[in-house]
Structure 1
Amino acid sequence: MQIEKNRFLYGNLSDVGRVRDENQDYYGRYSGTFGDLLLICDGMGGYQGGSIASRMAVEIISEHFKSLTAHYDVKYEIEQAAMQAQIQIKKYQAENPETEKMGTTLVLLLIREGNYWFAHIGDSRMYLKRDGKTNQLTKDHSLVQEMLDGGIIEPEQAKDHPKGNIITRALGTDNYSPDIKGPYQLKTGDVFMLCSDGMYEYLEHEEISEYMDKEPQDACEVFVALANQRGGKDNITVQVVKISGELMENSSSGKKLHKWIVAIVLAIVALIAVRFIIVRYVMPTCPVCISIKEGREGKCLPLSSADEIEEKIEEEGSNEDLDDGVTNDEEEEASEDEQPGEDE
């Protein structure tokens, strides 16, 4: 399955917020033979490298996908891209000790051949709205989420919890393993939203669902405006993509099958053409060898009429004139004497 080109509707926006002086979020959107890739990274580490880490992650991961051929293992390549980003961030930390605490979250969406995959590290999120229902696809890698899972706190306590800013996974730390999900089939009308925590902390789930119905760029502007109106204490970054094109059969496997069908049809046509040429132009000019069952060597006769062939057979004689042949009665007697499978 594939989607008509230019039938994705995109929107994106990033804002520093109302409190911070530096925007440590970084995002990107890329298209190529690898598919369509969207990323958001939320840097951490203050002025000691948060913005560097988020930018490095987006650039390294996107360059990895740009280098791929048309056919690849998506989950494996996401893992490899994250590992490359991890290696380079750790290397930067080693060369610049003042950035040793820098790191970044990651949320990633890959759309390819009518399917989608997503991955995340940390607490940046992804939502999907389909058929009027909105679901959060990612599950935060955070201390608060672990407390929720363990039944230590209730959902209403999580929103303003004092430890809400502690994440348990991030690029640049020892625990950077991404959660990767997919492939899942796309559906016309699907709307995806990627965001940093500076956005979703200020909106209720119902509000997120409501505004995802807007045109993607309009939705992004509303999300950022509401987050700023309600405090804007963190950087705010949002990307929205809507699948507006019709899905159609055009997968790589479908292309291969189509090529095989075409090849088979062409081969059949070629065989028919060769047979026609032989029958129409070659056979009338070739002699036909007619072997008469007479116990003697067959003779090669030119192509003749049926009457000529019949006269020739009469001249050559019948079974009664055989010198060395075996008559029908003798054949039956011989076959009765030789019963296969019997022991002597």
Structure 2
Amino acid sequence: MNIRYYAITDKGNFRSHNEDSFFANGEFLCGQVQGELAEVRETDTEDFPALFALADGLGGHEAGEVASKTALEKLSWMARAIQPLEELPPLGWKNLIRKINTEVNFHGQSIGKPSMGTTLVGCLLGKKKSWVFNVGDSRLYHMTDGRLSKVTVDHNISEELGGLSGRNLLTSCIGGGSKDMQADIFDLTGKLSPGDHILLCTDGLTEVLNIDYMEKVIREHEDLKEICSILSEEANLKMTRDNHTVLLVRINRL
């Protein structure tokens, strides 16, 4: 599978620093006020699967930027250690994420920040299998045939109760001193087609931009960097109160 991808992160309008981090197929960007990949990247998953992930450090906890960076570093390390990663079953993925949770909690205790926590959402695109994983309320969307749909389920009070309030009250996260963590695994194998897009983003974007607008931008623009920039800039114009990160992947051919 040949893919192209790009990512951008921004602290938004009101935060003094950025607690978001992203991992784009081997490249990290963590804790920067504003940052992006140097250019649109291209890779082929025929030889090795491509791994993408976002982590949104929890602003109400200590050292959110450390938690998000640590979670992605542990994910990257485990992805290299577990081979072939794409053949890991759903239970194996959940055990991997539980290990990341343990590592983030341990690191937080070791630096005197036991309550630090983060969301984690990502996907692995492989030759044989493609997976999505999620903890918290960062999201992954899949666009096919010009229609954008949300794959992940937010782990917050609002999602569980079906209401509008409680969006900032997470029911599951990485770290935060919690051992009882919920991780969701979704199988995208056989569901991807040439021309499809995968959009990963933190809630600083989705709290101000609705799915119809995001779909319209992706549908009407070809360049991945331009799409990410438009979404990020619009989030700031809409006065998002949080950091936001956008990572976009396009499937060129299977």
Please say whether Structure 1 and Structure 2 have the same fold, judged by a TM-score greater than 0.5.
Answer: yes
What is the DSSP-based 3-state SS (H/G/I as helix, E as strand, rest coil) of the residue aligned with 2:25?
strand
Question: Which letter does structure 2 place at the counterpart of 1:78?
Answer: W
- 1:115 & 1:187 partners in 2: Cα distance? 13
Which residue identity is paired with 1:11? Y
Residue 197 (str. 1) matches residue 199 (str. 2): no
Distance 1:228 1:201 in 2: 11
Q: 1:64 to 1:18 in 2, by over 3 A?
A: same
* Alignment size in residue pairs: 229
The answer for the alignment partner of 1:109 in structure 2 is: 123
Residue 107 of structure 1 deviates from its aligned partner by: 0.5
How far, CA to CA, are the matches of 2:83 and 2:19 in structure 1?
Answer: 32
SS at match of 1:12: strand
User: Relative CO higher for 1 or 2, CA cutoff 8 Å, sep ≥ 6?
Assistant: 2
1:62 matches 2:76:
yes
Q: Which runs of 5+ in 1 are unaligned?
A: 248-344
* Partner deviation per Cα, 1:261-315 (whole Å, 9 max, x = no partner): xxxxxxxxxxxxxxxxxxxxxxxxxxxxxxxxxxxxxxxxxxxxxxxxxxxxxxx
Which has more helix, going by share of residues?
Answer: 1
Indicate conservation of the 8 Å contact 2:19/2:59, yes or no.
no
Larger Rg: 1
Measure how far apart 1:45 and its partner are: 4.6
Partner of 1:8 in structure 2? 3
* 2:67 aligned partner, one-letter code: A
Secondary structure of 1:244 counterpart: strand
SS in 2 for 1:22: coil
| Alpha-carbon distance between aligned partners in 2 of 1:66 and 1:169, rounded to the nearest angstrom | 26
Which of the residues 158, 165, 169 maps onto 2:168? 165
* Residue 230 of structure 1: aligned partner: 238
Q: In structure 2, how many angstroms separate the alpha carbons of the residues matched to 1:13 and 1:74?
A: 31
Over 3 Å counting, the alpha-carbon distance change for 1:34 and 1:67 in structure 2 is: farther
Identity %: 27
Residues 113/219 of structure 1: CA separation in 2 closer, same or farther (3 Å cut) = same
Which of 52, 66, 79 lines up with 2:66 in the alignment?
52
Can you list the C-alpha shifts for 1:55-92, whole angstroms capped at 9, x where unaligned?
A: 00011011111123347425344223312211111112
Separation (CA, whole Å) in 2 of partners of 1:114 and 1:140: 27
Partner of 2:88: 73
Amino acid at match of 1:179: D
Runs of 4 or more above 6 Å deviation: none
Q: Confirm whether residue 24 of structure 1 aligns to residue 1 of structure 2.
A: no
Q: TM-score, normalised by structure 1?
A: 0.63
Aligned equivalents of 1:183, 1:76: Cα separation in 2: 16
CA distance in 2, matches of 1:23, 1:236: 8
Report deviation, 1:34.
Answer: 4.8
User: Cα 1:53–1:120, aligned 2, differ >3 Å: closer, same or farther?
Assistant: same
Asked if 1 retains the 8 angstrom alpha-carbon contact of 2:119 and 2:174, the reply is yes
After alignment, is 202-211 or 69-78 more displaced?
69-78
SS at match of 1:108: strand
| CA distance in 1: counterparts of 2:171 and 2:182, whole angstroms | 10
Alignment check: 8 A CA contact 2:147 2:215 kept: yes
Offset from partner CA, 1:93-141 (integer Å, 9 cap, x none): 32233x2221110111110115421010010001111012111111111
Uncovered stretches (5+) of structure 2, i.e. residues with no partner: 27-44
Structure 1 residue 41: Cα displacement = 0.4
The counterpart of 1:176, out of the listed 176, 181, 186, is: 181
Superposition map of 1:1-344 within 5 A: 3=1, 7-30=2-25, 34-46=48-60, 48-70=62-84, 72-97=87-112, 99-113=113-127, 115-148=129-162, 153=163, 158=164, 161=165, 163-172=166-175, 173-185=178-190, 186-213=192-219, 214=221, 215-245=223-253, 247=254
Structure with more of its chain in strand, by fraction: 2
Q: Which stretch shifts more, 228-237 or 214-223? A: 214-223
Aligned letter for 2:111?
A: N
How far, CA to CA, are the matches of 2:189 and 2:224 in structure 1? 22
Counterpart-to-counterpart distance in 2, 1:83 and 1:199 = 27
Matched residue SS, 1:48: coil
Displacement of 1:189 in angstroms is 1.1
